[in-house]
Structures are given as C-alpha cells and as structure tokens.
Amino acid sequence: MGKVLIIGAGGVGGVVTHKCAMNGDTFNDIHLASRTIEKCGIIQKQVKNKTKARITIHTLDADNVRETVSLLNHVKPDLVINVALPYQDLSIMDACLETGIDYMDTANYEPRDVAKFEYKWQWDYHDRFKQKGIMALLGSGFDPGVTNVFSAYALKHHFDVIKTIDILDCNAGSHGKAFATNFNPEINIREVTQAARHWEKGQWIETPPIIEEGAVHFTFDYPVAGKQESYLLYHEELESLVKNIKGLERIRFWMTFSDNYLTHLKVLQNVGMTGIKPVNYKGMEIVPIQFLKAVLPEPSSLGKNYTGKTVIGNVMTGVKDGKEKGLYIFNVCDHAECFREVNAQAISYTTGVPAMIGAKLILSGKWNGKGVFNMEEMDPDPFMDELNKQGLPWQMKDFPHSL
C-alpha cells in the first residue's frame, strides 16, 4: 500500500490517475497536483464516476522548487510520478532530493531554450540520489519505457547478444481534426522537427528531420495496421539502450506520419510558428511554439472521437546459442477502447499505464535501487506480466531478418 503524488493533469496525468485508482491494492492514497487546478478537478470527478477511489487535488507550479518541497512535506508521498512536462524534471528531482522521496517520470529533461534531448542532466543526479538512499526511475512511458523493457526482456530470455534494435511506433488512428498532436504539442513538435539520429557501429549518424528533403523513411507492414510509411527520428531511449545493452551494433527509432500531418508541420515550420525563441508582438514577448500550443487541441480532448489503433514495438536481431535469430515484440492498442476505459486516447493510455506499472513495482519493492535508473536496468519480468494484466498485452513473433 502506498501514497503517490502525481504531478501534471494533462492527457497522461488523467490516465495515470485513473489506473492508480483502479489498482487500489497498491495505491491507497492518491494525490494529483498541477498548475491549473480545474484540470485536476475534472480528472478527480471522472475517477469518482468510475471507481471507489478518492483523489486529493492541489495547485502546484512545479518549476518552483520551494513550492514543490512544501507540497511534498505536506502530502508526504512514498513516490512522485512526474507527468508534467520535461521542463519540470530537474526542479521536481531537486525537491525529491531535499525531502527524501522516490521519483519517476516518462520523458527526459529538456531546457526550454534549446530543443536538446539527452539524459546527462538527470544521470548527473545519480550520486546524490544514491547518497540520499532514494530512487529515480526515468522514462516509464511506452517509448521510452515499454520499448526499453522489451529490449531487456529479449536479452534476458531470448538472446545471448542483441545486435540490432529497430523501435517502430505506429499510430494508425484518426482523431478527426485537421491537425493535432497526440501529446503536449510543444514537446511533440520540438521532438519531431529536430534532425534524426541513430547509432551504428559505435557512432551517432545524423540525417535530415522528417519534413526535410532527404529524410529517411520506408514502408513497414505493421500487424493489424498494415503498410505505413515510417520515418527515422531521434528518440531518447536510444541513448540509454546504447549504454545498457552491451554488444549492440545498431539501434534506430521509426515513427509513422501521415502526409497530412507532414504537410501541416512543414507549413507551420516554414512560416516560423514552430520557433522556440521569443518574438516581440505589440510590446509583448511571445514564443511562437507556445502560441501554437495554445491554439491546437489539447491531447486530453482528442479521445472522444478517436478511432483506430496504435502498434508499437521492437524488431530485434542477435545471437542465441551460436545461432542468428530475430524477434518482434509489440503491443496493439485501440483508441476507442482506451476512451471507454479511462476517457483518453491511446497515446496518453500507452504512456500512462506503464507509468502506473513502474510506480506499482517501486511501491511493492519489486523494483528498487538507490540512484538514478533507466527502465532496462530493472528486472523486465514483473513489468511484462503487469502489461498483460493492465490493458497493454504484448505479442511476440519470429522476425528472422534485420530491417
């Protein structure tokens, strides 16, 4: 039994709160804090309508370490689940260090003024978390998160060495809007407009961003979703998997995008609406991408009319008992079913459910440690079991060649 403080009342925060409430054996006291208390109130009411659990809500600006420390001292949770934005990671980690409380998130830290994705800032906390005797678990969403656990599971049970990993993320769903992003628009657009990067034979190789000439893409025949154009992207789990999966020769991340999405993004980029530097408008400083976020649909509002499925997983090749082999481990998730269960679309669901599972394993003591850890450093077996029980069942099939 444990007490959690969930920070962030967006699409993912809503799913984490619902799923914690549905796992009352583990989460007996659930607190939800966010910048806009009204959003916490909406989730509180939704959960009340669906479960017996009661959620306590708080206003919090998690950029402010003092305010966060004060809330942590007041609530005294066993674990903080950070599903606000990557900008808040370090301030929340600072507050956890000061109060001696375990920390978990789903996305690595990013500074606001540079769209740069690396674990260094958070890995630098390792010694301080270790000395304090507390744990930080990084990236417990789907990708990063489940994709890291799929890699660790494959290495534990099916390979002596994994040589290649291709992570393939397909959203074959439709939300009916002309243009929207499935998670926070600002974070999403910063991620997909940067140069692509993958790791091969000991070095990082950079290729053009998805909307530029020369972007690398190919057609993959996904289970259930069929053939979809998949684009090479940089994604944060590549960095930790390169470090933790020894013997890896190549790792890449692919994501599907429709022509409609790419055309909109290209126009927005060309007219300067994806910029992250402030511009002066009538004497006011406005950051174009933040203004764009304000006019785009909220990820949490997309669920109602979303149809179709997501298919996310890893194709891995390597050697077992002297023989070359390949495996594909993946999950198929249905947008409409997610909405029926927890009022959310599948992108929020596939992120929020693994966040709840990571929290459950920490609170039950099945996952523990002192310091800062990525998902693949933990025993994959209890996590894989929970995926099957908590709404994200996985499938595995032979895939006897690399992509």
> What is the helix, strand, coil percentage profile of the chain, to 5?
40, 30, 35
Q: Considering the rule CB under 6 A, would residue 183 count as an interface residue with ligand NDP? A: yes
**How many CB atoms sit inside 10 A of residue 247's CB?**
12
Q: How far apart are the first and last CA of the chain?
A: 44
Which of 4, 5, 6, 11 binds ligand NDP (CB under 6 A)? It is: 11
Alpha helices in 51-79 (DSSP H): 65-75
Q: How far is CA 220 from CA 65, 70, 136, 169, in A?
A: 45, 49, 35, 11
Where does this chain touch ligand NDP (CB under 6 A) — which range of 139-147, 198-206, 223-231, 320-328? 139-147
Q: Is 141 in the site for ligand NDP (CB under 6 A)?
A: yes
Separation between Cα atoms, residue 155 and residue 361, nearest integer Å: 20
Candidate list 50, 63, 297, 336; residue touching ligand NDP; CB under 6 A: 63
The answer to whether the CB of 297 falls within 8 A of the CB of 180 is: yes
Residue nearest to ligand NDP (CB): 10
Site string for ligand NDP, 27-56 (x = CB under 6 A): -------xxx--x-----------------
The DSSP secondary-structure symbol of 236 reads T
Pick one of 171, 240, 310, 351: the residue that binds ligand NDP (CB under 6 A).
351
358 binds ligand NDP (CB under 6 A): no
Q: How many CB atoms lie within 10 A of CB 282?
A: 5
User: Across 60-96, where does the E strand assignment appear?
Assistant: 79-82
The smaller minimum CB distance to ligand NDP, of residues 29 and 143, is found at 143
Least CB distance from residue 368 to ligand NDP, whole Å?
Answer: 22
CB of 388 to ligand NDP, least distance (A): 18
Q: How far is the CB of 298 from ligand NDP (least distance, A)?
A: 6
| Residue 20 CB neighbours (<10 A) | 29
Q: Does 167 bind ligand NDP (CB under 6 A)?
A: no
Does 371 contact ligand NDP by CB under 6 A? no
| Cα–Cα distance, 329 to 151 (Å, whole number) | 9
The pattern of x and - marking residues 315 through 334 that bind ligand NDP according to CB under 6 A reads --------------------
Please give the residues from 187 up to 206 whose contact with ligand NDP meets the rule CB under 6 A.
187
Q: Which of 315, 321, 333, 325 is CA-nearest to residue 396?
A: 315
Q: How far is CA 105 from the centre of its chain?
A: 8
What token pair was written down for 328? 């594909």
Q: Between residues 163 and 386, which has the closer beta carbon with respect to ligand NDP?
A: 386
Q: Phi/psi at 77 (nearest 5 deg)?
A: -75, 165
- Least gap, CB of 361 to ligand NDP (angstroms): 16
Residue 29 or 169: the one with the smaller Cβ distance to ligand NDP is 169
Pick from 23, 106, 148, 256 the residue near ligand NDP by CB under 6 A: 106
What x/- string results for residues 259 through 278 when contact with ligand NDP is judged by CB under 6 A? --------------------
Residue 95 or residue 317: which is nearer to ligand NDP going by CB? 95
Nearer to ligand NDP, 43 or 159 (CB): 43
Euclidean distance between CA atoms 162 and 399, whole angstroms: 13
Output DSSP code: residue 378.
Answer: S
What is the pattern of x (binds ligand NDP, CB under 6 A) and - over residues 107-126?
x-------------------
Q: Could you tell me how many residues of this chain bind ligand NDP (CB under 6 A)?
A: 37
CB of 203 to ligand NDP, least distance (A): 25
Name the residue among 245, 224, 227 with its Cα closest to residue 165.
Answer: 245
State whether residue 121 is helix, strand or coil.
helix
Q: Fill in the per-residue mask, 278 to 317: x = in contact with ligand NDP (CB under 6 A), - = not in contact.
A: --------------------xxx-----------------
Do 110 and 87 touch, CB atoms closer than 8 A? yes
Integer angstrom CA distances of residue 280 from 45, 188, 291: 40, 24, 13
DSSP three-state, residue 37: helix
The contact set with ligand NDP (CB under 6 A) reads 7-13, 34-36, 39, 60-63, 83-86, 88, 106-107, 139, 141-145, 183-184, 187, 298-300, 347-348, 351
